[in-house]
Structure 1
Amino acid sequence: MTRYMTAGAAALATTLSFGTAALADTTPDLRGIWTGSYTTVGPNRTTTGDAPRFNSAEWVLDIQKQQDNVFWGPSKWRSSGTSDWRKLDATGTISLDDPNRISIVESSANPEIGVNALIDARYQDGKIYADFRSLRRGTTYSTVLERQVN
């Protein structure tokens, strides 16, 4: 019986190592600085009367750590024409069944802010195509992030 259990454990370990190797072969390495610009629309009408608020802005996602299919890095954005960056943290995962599908949560260390946004993204042709949905202010936008080369 012990011989069969040992053989079974060895077979399972081999299968898992092939699965991990396959994941490593197909999972993109997203580490690096990604930038994009976009136009956003928000429902806040306090300064625009009855019209929704449109803004041009830029986003920088700095993926500093990645382990297998999960990653972390600072996320910052600012409206065009201002120099003040709003800084948050981004945690993300690359789908196990589709290595081009990415989910990102943007959050703040400040408990009053907490989770700021959910981002659905797709990695394609060396770019990240991201759809942003704010959980706090109702802001939405889509952008293409391109990796910056030093």
Structure 2
Amino acid sequence: MIKVYRKTATIKAKQFDGSQTSLFGYEVMPDSLLDALTGEPAYYSILIDDFEPEPDDFPDDNEVSFEIGDWIVNEADEIKVMADEEFKQQYAELPVIPENVAYIIKQAKKGDYKLGWVFNATYLGLWRVSVGNWIRTHADTVARAWLDGYVVEEEK
């Protein structure tokens, strides 16, 4: 029987918009081939190793090429390029949650409580009204944050 799996590791990724001069610490180099309409470089690349390739190596062994709109992914110290559509099919952003909700998740996990306890405590009114309301109206986001991790919302 074939089983279906999902990736659970977090990655770092940046979408290239043409303005970046470096990605993950590597210098972005424009290609000499220019786009006929804009006059801008059609492709860009980063050199992922600082050594000179041996003559029998493929010329692009240590170079990653990409174009505007592509995603540069740093996964397990490996740099790879993905088209926007392919990237969006494989990866989803971590949910963004308020700091007080992040604190509840952190403390609940530290106390070895389960997610059901967080929701039950919400309906019992154990949290401040604004926090309880946020958890109730964003229950799917809280569950996803509990399972996959989260990013704390920046203060305005």
The structure with the larger Rg is 2
Higher strand share: 1
Q: Tell me the TM-score normalised to structure 1 length.
A: 0.29
Higher helix share: 2
